[in-house]
Amino acid sequence: MQLRLLRYFTTLAREGHFARAAEACGVTQPTLSAGIAALEEQFGHRLVLRERRYIGLSPEGQAMLPWAQQLIAVYDGMAHAMEAIDGPIQGEFRLGVIPAAMPATGYLARALLAGHPASTLSVRSLTSREIERGLVAFDLDAGLTYLDHEPPADMLAAPLYAERYIFLARAGGDFDGRTSIGWAEAAGSDLCLLHPGMQNRRILDTRLAERGLAIRPRATADSYVALLAMVQAGGFATIMPDSYLALLPGMSWARILPFDDPAPASRIGVIVPNRHPIGPLAAAALAVARAVALPDGFRI
Amino acid sequence: MQLRLLRYFTTLAREGHFARAAEACGVTQPTLSAGIAALEEQFGHRLVLRERRYIGLSPEGQAMLPWAQQLIAVYDGMAHAMEAIDGPIQGEFRLGVIPAAMPATGYLARALLAGHPASTLSVRSLTSREIERGLVAFDLDAGLTYLDHEPPADMLAAPLYAERYIFLARAGGDFDGRTSIGWAEAAGSDLCLLHPGMQNRRILDTRLAERGLAIRPRATADSYVALLAMVQAGGFATIMPDSYLALLPGMSWARILPFDDPAPASRIGVIVPNRHPIGPLAAAALAVARAVALPDGFRI
DNA sequence: TCCTCTCGATAGACGGGCCCTATCATGTCG
DNA sequence: CGACATGATAGGGCCCGTCTATCGAGAGGA
């Protein structure tokens, strides 16, 4: 009957340690132990396996965990909704962002925090799948990700901008003086790209497959910064979204070539879980995304 | 922090009366009054308007109510899930059924209760919109309704059977000896039909509009029993789903005519809200609907 | 082998909060 | 004007959650 015990439970599941979980909950370790014991007594199942130390959750505990997380999230949503009645939105926006969209985070963050001065923002770089998982598991309030590719179900969306691919090579190489490039030539270059499992890479592979091209990168990474560093160091070119150009206008070492046959632009925007009722944080994120105007370099 | 207070709150909102709500919660009236006061103290808002008697919910209370209902529903879902671990599903299935599907309730109920002997079933006759509202508001566990017309969002579905329209007139009239009827002739008869707002009526109107026909019933009702009674009394014919024929095989007073140009069959099935995690009652309802075999007269 | 550290359980005391019964205050209706 | 209905208030009892202090079993190292 008490959410407090469920908070103990979820915290313990996250921390994997009684004393640390107790500290995170602001109580002493015996209190947390008693709370877990009370939960187990109440539901008639051993929830936490332990023998002189924390082992893990029992199957029953694993079955219970998502319910407990949802209960806590709904309670927090209610508390936020009540706080938001008389005054600005308080609390922390938890925003999950795919790496390709990270350059747009600044404008979204500025608008979000300007519109809601009493709130704070926590940005986490995640894959699109992790964002979806975090949203349904109540670990995130909103996501910044692709809207059209593998769209998650049961989401409300607000488009922010659209990205196109560009070809990026080191200045002083074969591409000086060029004004555009074809897909086949790009695919034949020595490329460094994202890992095949990442969504942006999957989209790129799809784009190439539509043209009958396959790609064999010489190097892969999970970070655009790594790709930029490899291109800068020389020996590689890459294909990446143009959104990073808005972030890095002064890359004199770079040759940036658009494709002469541009692929369809990919819309990127904010998504929030479509729940009833919708929480004030999600509603605010959506409203801000619909109102914010991104500068040139981000085009819709 | 305590779900108990939220239970007081939602019960009070439903009952509109402090003493009755207290009795429904199994506590005394002062306890419930103190609970409401504690909630208002905790959230800093007057939730219940009252001046010597219950008036209603304040705007803040109305905003809070769906959150409280969701919290209670999620808690109940968790409790059910934990109970369902070791043993049969307990508790009450709350099933909303549209009138057109009511004849199929018996077989679904039998299968549901046979598969889950420790559970009980509560059937409520509702419109399709009320079912959808009840499912998202956690007042229902499952619905039995149309799957293809105006399908509600975020639902999991399991088809049960498909219905077709038949024409029903009193024996001894102009339709004796006929084996089928056309839509135009039927539309020109003296008809009694459901009220225009009901979904089955809207579907029928759509079917007729597809054939360029409009309909002007002489009488309308909100109950198929009323339609049957009016046909039996004489002076009216009606158009209704064939599922009622399975329920009433001995209607010697009736002439039942299929349409010579049958409309597409309408699938009827069980829907449950698509939530994460899904509760054991919803899962069981869906599983039973997928496993149950309906007798002849209900055809898929 | 033994000492020490870690980790969770247990004991006992304290305090708060929840619920009860009893009663009051006020509005309504006959 | 009196009886009833309705919700608030007062006071007492008890349960339950939290704390500090301590125990007991393993793990790891000298």
Q: Each residue of B2-13: pLDDT tens digit?
A: 788 899 899 888
User: Could you tell me if A156 lies within 8 Å of chain B, comparing CB atoms?
Assistant: no
Residue of A nearest to B155 (CA): A154
User: Could you tell me if A4 lies within 8 Å of chain B, comparing CB atoms?
Assistant: yes
| Nucleotide D11 C1' to residue B204 CA (A) | 66
CB < 8 Å to A79, chain B: 43
- CB atoms inside a 10 Å sphere around CB A79: 18
Quick check: B62 pLDDT over 80? yes
Between B1, B71, B78, which is nearest A4 by CB?
A: B1
Contact A82 B70 (CB under 8 A): no
The rounded percent of chain B whose pLDDT value lies above 90 is 13
pLDDT for res A288: 92
Which residue carries 């309802």 as its tokens? Answer: B285
Query: pLDDT for B163-206, tens place per residue?
Result: 888 999 988 888 888 989 999 999 988 898 988 878 888 888 88
pLDDT for res B285: 92
Quick check: A58 pLDDT over 70? yes
Peptide bond into A280 cis (omega under 30): no
Confidence of residue A284 (pLDDT cuts 50, 70, 90): very high
Q: Which nucleotide is closest to A4, CA to C1'?
A: D17
Q: What's the whole-number average pLDDT of chain B?
A: 86
In 3D, which of A107, A115, A66 has the Cα closest to residue A283?
A: A115
Q: Which of A32-41, A212-221, A231-240, B241-250 has the lowest mean pLDDT?
A: B241-250
Query: pLDDT for B69-80, tens place per residue?
Result: 999 989 988 988
Nucleic acid strand D within 7 Å of A120 CB: no
Contact B3 A4 (CB under 8 A): no
User: Could you tell me if A136 lies within 8 Å of chain B, comparing CB atoms?
Assistant: yes
Mean pLDDT (whole number) for A95-113: 86
Quick check: A300 pLDDT over 60? no
**End-to-end Cα separation, chain B, in angstroms:** 49
Between B45, B64, B74, which is nearest A70 by CB?
A: B74
CA distance B151 to B154: 9
Quick check: A270 pLDDT over 90? yes
Length of chain B: 300
Quick check: A296 pLDDT over 80? no
Crossing angle of helices B3-15 and B59-83, rounded to 10°: 120
Between A4, A74, A276, which is nearest B71 by CB?
A: A74
In 3D, which of A220, A212, A217, A164 has the Cα closest to residue A184?
A: A212
CATH number (3.40.50.2300, 1.10.3720.10, 1.10.10.10, 3.30.565.10) of B3-72 reads: 1.10.10.10
Which residues of A in 18-37 have their CB below 7 Å from strand D's atoms? 26-28, 30-31, 34-35
Specify the DSSP element, H or E, that contains A92. Answer: strand A91-97
Range list of H helices, A118-160: 128-136
Confidence of residue A138 (pLDDT cuts 50, 70, 90): confident
Question: Could you give the residue range(s) of every CATH 1.10.10.10 domain in chain B?
Answer: 3-72
pLDDT for res B1: 66
pLDDT for res A85: 81
* Separation in Å, CA B95 to CA B85, B101, B132, B271: 22, 12, 11, 10
Contact A1 B1 (CB under 8 A): no
Q: How close does chain A come to B76, measured CA to CA in Å?
A: 10
DSSP designation for B159: E
Range list of H helices, chain B: 3-15, 18-25, 29-43, 59-83, 105-115, 128-136, 183-187, 199-210, 224-233, 243-247, 280-291
Confidence of residue A109 (pLDDT cuts 50, 70, 90): confident
Nucleic acid strand D within 7 Å of A42 CB: no
Nucleic acid strand C within 7 Å of A46 CB: no
Residue of B nearest to A62 (CA): B82
User: Could you tell me if B277 lies within 8 Å of chain A, comparing CB atoms?
Assistant: yes
Peptide bond into B277 cis (omega under 30): yes
CA distance A143 to A134: 9
Mean pLDDT (whole number) for A270-275: 91
In 3D, which of B49, B51, B69 has the Cα closest to residue B59?
A: B49
CB < 8 Å to B64, chain A: 78, 81-82
Confidence of residue A298 (pLDDT cuts 50, 70, 90): low
Residue of B nearest to A77 (CA): B67
Between A1, A274, A277, which is nearest B4 by CB?
A: A1
Confidence of residue A297 (pLDDT cuts 50, 70, 90): low
Query: pLDDT for B96-149, tens place per residue?
Result: 888 888 888 888 888 888 888 888 888 888 888 889 988 988 889 999 999 987
pLDDT for res B212: 87
Mean pLDDT (whole number) for B30-53: 85
Global pTM value: 0.78
Query: pLDDT for A254-264, tens place per residue?
Result: 888 999 888 78
Nucleic acid strand D within 7 Å of B29 CB: yes
User: Could you tell me if B60 lies within 8 Å of chain A, comparing CB atoms?
Assistant: yes
CB < 8 Å to A35, chain B: none
Quick check: B278 pLDDT over 60? yes
CA distance A74 to A48: 24
User: Could you tell me if B87 lies within 8 Å of chain A, comparing CB atoms?
Assistant: no
CA distance B92 to B66: 21
Contact B82 A274 (CB under 8 A): no
Q: Strand runs (DSSP E) across B86-200, as ranges?
A: 91-97, 119-125, 142-146, 155-163, 165-170, 192-194
- Structure token pair of residue A136: 């349904």
Question: Could you give the residue range(s) of every CATH 3.40.190.10 domain in chain A?
Answer: 88-162+266-291, 165-258
Contact B67 A43 (CB under 8 A): no
Residue of A nearest to B47 (CA): A82
Taking each continuous run of H as one helix and of E as one strand, the counts in chain A are 11, 12
Contact B75 A71 (CB under 8 A): yes
Query: pLDDT for B201-241, tens place per residue?
Result: 888 888 888 888 888 888 888 888 888 888 888 888 999 88
Q: Are A77 and A276 in contact (CB under 8 A)?
A: no
- As ranges, strand C nucleotides with an atom below 7 A of a protein CB are 7-12, 18-22, 25-27
> CB within 8 A of B3, min separation 6: which ones?
A1, A2, A3, B71, B72, B75
Quick check: A101 pLDDT over 90? no
In 3D, which of B136, B141, B137 has the Cα closest to residue B122?
A: B141
Q: Would you identify the CATH topology of the domain B88-162+266-291?
A: D-Maltodextrin-Binding Protein; domain 2 (3.40.190)
pLDDT for res A141: 92
CB within 8 Å of chain B, chain A residues 36-55: 43-45
pLDDT for res A286: 92
pLDDT for res B114: 87
CATH 3.40.190.10 assigned to domain A165-258? The reply is yes
Q: Which of A116-130, A242-256, B41-55 has the lowest mean pLDDT?
A: A242-256
Q: What's the whole-number average pLDDT of chain A?
A: 86
